[in-house]
Structure 1
Amino acid sequence: MAAIVPVQFGVSMSLTVIAVAVGDIARDLDTGTDAASWTVTGAILASAVSTSLGGKLGDIYGHRRAFLASAVMLVVVTPLSGLAWNIESLIGFRVAAGVANGVATAAGTAMVLLAFPIATRSRAIGWYQSALSGAPAIGLIVGGQIVEQFGWRWVFAFFGVIAVIGLVTSATVVRPMGGGLDVSVDYWGGLTLTAGVALVLVGLTLLGNDGVGTSVSVILMAGGVVFLGAFARIEQRVPEPIISMAYLRKRNFSIPIWVVTLANFSFMGGLVVTPFLFTERLGWGLGAATLLLAVRPITFSTCAFAGGYIHPRLGARMTPVVGSSLLAVGMVFFALSAWQASLGWTVAGLFVVAIGHGIQLPSLTTTASDAVEPEDYGVASGMRGTLTQVGVTTGMQTMVIMIGTDITGNSLASSYLLGAGAAIVAVALSLAISPGSRTVRTH
């Protein structure tokens, strides 16, 4: 844990660290901000599509090997990003960094699950997810300071050093875990899954972009659905699928994953909408709003740590019921703020959604992992990560589209209420989780 968490912390920070520099990158590389924004979007999408296959490779060849491979990739592509000669090369290096993040996340989660017994697993996951949830926000803060003082290329010099330290530490400390499955890699399944998720997420990302058009987005998403359908058919027929379809029929595996997806739809959708609430309804400047918004990731990270201790007490069912309920309540607080232009309701919403989403994540991860065999921890973690990103992207795009270009109190409130509705569905699904049954052997 002492080696995995710092490395994963640095990897996750790298995804968002240049989000504050999109304008500077566009000017320096003589391109538009829409193209420059793909240095962030491309990394996030690559992370989403690589987690499932990366997790499976870890199950076969060992999670330490997968983790070290991702660390090596970061050591290579991080300094190259700082030396990028045009926007295409920078996007390519950032996509490679996203792949490294996806593989590291699946492998790191699997190693944490394997390293801790059932009795203390949720607490370990709480520590791990506390680091993961706080990293992107800290990345924004650190990146902003470096960009302001030295320029965006120096961000990669800073993180290049961190990548080297992470590689040396993990290679020295992390012991071999997992691996040894005597199976072949289902490459066709991996290809169709990757293509399906990528097309759906790119379509969602472009949805509402006036320069692209809704029709292109719909075509991309429809193509993604076709590929995902092909993936499902392949997995039912091959002798050694990426993930057993039998797991998807287990409610303590599939339901927690869908609850996480819906919760992230609400949580992350609300995150990108709230700056508009500050600037358009409360009259704040973006700089001041960003400082107050830092309350949300800090609270979220703290509560993710606490959630590991809450899970054994409330149980696999009631922890997400309480967490998603708080998330829904917090979104209603935001809607009230949009209607009344109230700072009080806004601050209440920031705290309540962070508390609710934070306390339930370790429980949902632990419950889903306990429903699969230990040798499948990697691919199970990967599938959860992939669907989590689907929820994140869907929520962000849908809720931004709902507020429209003519932002009013009603349009903002409607967007937040949509997020509350997703959280309420998550509550209903959580009630179907088996509260304490174990479906596989302990180890």
Structure 2
Amino acid sequence: MAEEGGPAARRRSLVAVSSGVFCVQLDAFALNPALPGIARDLGVTGAGLSWVVSGYLLAAGALMLGAGRLGDLLGRRALLTAGLVVFAVASLGCALAPSLPVLVIARVVQGAGGALTMPVGLALLTNAYPPASRGRALGWALGAGGTATACGPFLGGVLTEALSWRAVFWVNVPVALVAAVWAARAADSRDSAAPPTVDGKGLVTVTAAVAGLALLVDRGPVWGWLSGPTAVTLALVVVVLVVFVRCERVAANPLVGLGLFRNERFVALTAAGAVANAATVVFLFMVPLALQGPWGLSSAVAGSVFLAPATAMALAGPVAGRIPRAGTVRAMAWCLGLGAAGLGAVSRVPTLPGRISAATVCGAALGVANALTLIATQTAVAPERAGEASGVTKTVITVAAGLGVALCGPVAGPYGAPVSARALGGALTDAGLCCLAGALLLGLRSRRRLPGLPSRRRRTRTGD
């Protein structure tokens, strides 16, 4: 692991990554309230509007895995800076887009910039900070992302109503450009034990497989889960994944060391994070509707009431960063358990203060779980392969977020119009049951010690 820079360079790294994570998460969650305005201004009708959201998420999900490892090999500072510049330029393109096709193309490019920013940025912080303060640094960066995630829908609605949907994109431009300047002066690091060569076959096949899987999750509810297009897409994803595994088995320097998937601690935490992220999407979509409930609150009032659980979620990152490594699996199990209880209660408690309290506990628990996933998986691998680990984890939880959106589909229309209180409660209950199952499985696993870092002799090849 090659590393440079002292405390000042570390602070620049933290500011750059925190700002970048904020922008990426904001644009993943702030745009839904702006969709009606986009449709009206650009004269869009039909299903084409959904690609404004889907294009961003598909590009980000498909490219994150490869981007993380490329940062390890080519230098994390350069790729983070490039990702932030691409994100800023694409945001400018979105803000100025004269038509839907131009907007969708700009959103895809924006997703590519986000794919470079997230896993590479987390890996850069992992290597910039010593072990004693690494978790806290990651926690602050992820806290910025949690703030954007929780407040994104509210901020998107305010900007759209007060100014224009284009303001949602204009906000990113100066923030991302300033972050790029800080990133260019941040502490650099790379995996100096591996040659700076890219496993091209692995990169192409894994990107194609993840893109197909993300497309399947996104389009499945539209096509029908038992339809022909769904079956064909699933078959292609399986075939390409088999080809990817075969390529990685024979590659001298694989893009993803398959030994990573034998790291039980990493796999358990990533799987738990996928459950938490899917539940978080359900939480963000459904809880504001549940808070309206029988009291007939307007969307604006419900959004204001939701600020309490949103704030709890935003503050969770720094809290997660202070949980010691030895307690991460147990803490994750408790967070999923509390999240399950909160999701189950939020549509059933008969009083508004009770629902707000349940939602606040749930938001805090899911916020800690999401941040802890990305922090703890970084400690489960050797630092020189941190980008590889963060790329895999971010890819998995991004695809899981798509499953959360699919779970919300039968309950809400394109702009969040509720269909029925029963369906609303059902979606929250389903998400809660998934959290409960994850908590029980983690609890059982934590009764025996999960393997951590391997011996130094095995790290370079497997990334365990």
Is TM more than 0.5 here? yes
1:395 counterpart = 2:404: yes
The alpha-carbon distance between structure 1 residues 250 and 352, as it changes in their structure 2 partners (threshold 3 A), is same
The alpha-carbon distance between structure 1 residues 274 and 316, as it changes in their structure 2 partners (threshold 3 A), is closer
Secondary structure at 1:175's aligned position in 2? coil
* Alignment counterpart, residue 239 of structure 1, candidates 252, 272, 291: 252
Measured after TM superposition, the shift of residue 403 of structure 1 is 7.9
CA distance in structure 1 between the aligned counterparts of 2:163 and 2:284, rounded to whole angstroms: 28
Percent of residue pairs bearing the same amino acid type:
24
1:114 counterpart = 2:114: no
User: Match of 1:397, as an amino acid?
Assistant: A
Conserved in 2, the CA contact under 8 Å of 1:44 and 1:98?
A: yes
* Alignment counterpart, residue 384 of structure 1, candidates 387, 393, 405: 393
The alpha-carbon distance between structure 1 residues 363 and 274, as it changes in their structure 2 partners (threshold 3 A), is closer
User: Match of 1:321, as an amino acid?
Assistant: A
The alpha-carbon distance between structure 1 residues 164 and 386, as it changes in their structure 2 partners (threshold 3 A), is same
In structure 2, the residue matched to 1:346 is 355
In structure 1, the residue matched to 2:3 is none
In structure 1, the residue matched to 2:94 is 81
In structure 2, the residue matched to 1:366 is 375
In structure 2, the residue matched to 1:5 is 18
The alpha-carbon distance between structure 1 residues 411 and 32, as it changes in their structure 2 partners (threshold 3 A), is same
**TM-score normalised over the length of structure 2:** 0.85
In structure 2, the residue matched to 1:64 is 77
Conserved in 2, the CA contact under 8 Å of 1:315 and 1:435?
A: no
Conserved in 2, the CA contact under 8 Å of 1:336 and 1:345?
A: no
CA distance in structure 2 between the aligned counterparts of 1:435 and 1:245, rounded to whole angstroms: 18
In structure 1, the residue matched to 2:424 is 412
**TM-score normalised over the length of structure 1:** 0.89
CA distance in structure 2 between the aligned counterparts of 1:363 and 1:156, rounded to whole angstroms: 29
Conserved in 2, the CA contact under 8 Å of 1:55 and 1:381?
A: yes
The alpha-carbon distance between structure 1 residues 34 and 427, as it changes in their structure 2 partners (threshold 3 A), is same
* Range that drifts further, 371-380 or 249-258: 371-380
Secondary structure at 2:43's aligned position in 1? coil
Measured after TM superposition, the shift of residue 65 of structure 1 is 0.8
CA distance in structure 1 between the aligned counterparts of 2:188 and 2:132, rounded to whole angstroms: 22
1:274 counterpart = 2:283: no
The alpha-carbon distance between structure 1 residues 267 and 4, as it changes in their structure 2 partners (threshold 3 A), is closer
Conserved in 1, the CA contact under 8 Å of 2:76 and 2:121?
A: yes
* Alignment counterpart, residue 50 of structure 1, candidates 58, 63, 88: 63
The alpha-carbon distance between structure 1 residues 169 and 183, as it changes in their structure 2 partners (threshold 3 A), is closer
Secondary structure at 2:343's aligned position in 1? helix
1:421 counterpart = 2:433: yes
The alpha-carbon distance between structure 1 residues 121 and 282, as it changes in their structure 2 partners (threshold 3 A), is same
CA distance in structure 1 between the aligned counterparts of 2:167 and 2:430, rounded to whole angstroms: 40
Return 5+ residue gaps in structure 2 as ranges: 1-13, 460-464
Conserved in 2, the CA contact under 8 Å of 1:77 and 1:97?
A: yes
In structure 2, the residue matched to 1:206 is 219
Conserved in 1, the CA contact under 8 Å of 2:150 and 2:313?
A: no
Conserved in 2, the CA contact under 8 Å of 1:371 and 1:440?
A: no
* Alignment counterpart, residue 317 of structure 1, candidates 315, 329, 341: 329
Measured after TM superposition, the shift of residue 39 of structure 1 is 1.6
Conserved in 2, the CA contact under 8 Å of 1:399 and 1:418?
A: no
Secondary structure at 1:50's aligned position in 2? helix
The alpha-carbon distance between structure 1 residues 11 and 366, as it changes in their structure 2 partners (threshold 3 A), is closer
Q: Give the paired residue count.
A: 435
Return 5+ residue gaps in structure 1 as ranges: none
1:94 counterpart = 2:107: yes
1:319-334 alignment to 2 at 5 Å? 319-334=331-346
Measured after TM superposition, the shift of residue 351 of structure 1 is 1.2
CA distance in structure 2 between the aligned counterparts of 1:364 and 1:8, rounded to whole angstroms: 15
User: Match of 2:165, as an amino acid?
Assistant: W
Secondary structure at 1:401's aligned position in 2? coil
Conserved in 1, the CA contact under 8 Å of 2:310 and 2:360?
A: no
User: Match of 2:454, as an amino acid?
Assistant: T
The alpha-carbon distance between structure 1 residues 226 and 296, as it changes in their structure 2 partners (threshold 3 A), is farther
CA distance in structure 1 between the aligned counterparts of 2:396 and 2:182, rounded to whole angstroms: 30
CA distance in structure 2 between the aligned counterparts of 1:414 and 1:143, rounded to whole angstroms: 27
CA distance in structure 2 between the aligned counterparts of 1:108 and 1:406, rounded to whole angstroms: 37
| 1:42-80 Cα distance to aligned partner (Å, 9 max, x none) | 112211111111111101101101101112212322222
In structure 2, the residue matched to 1:104 is 117
In structure 1, the residue matched to 2:454 is 439
Conserved in 1, the CA contact under 8 Å of 2:147 and 2:311?
A: yes
1:293 counterpart = 2:306: yes
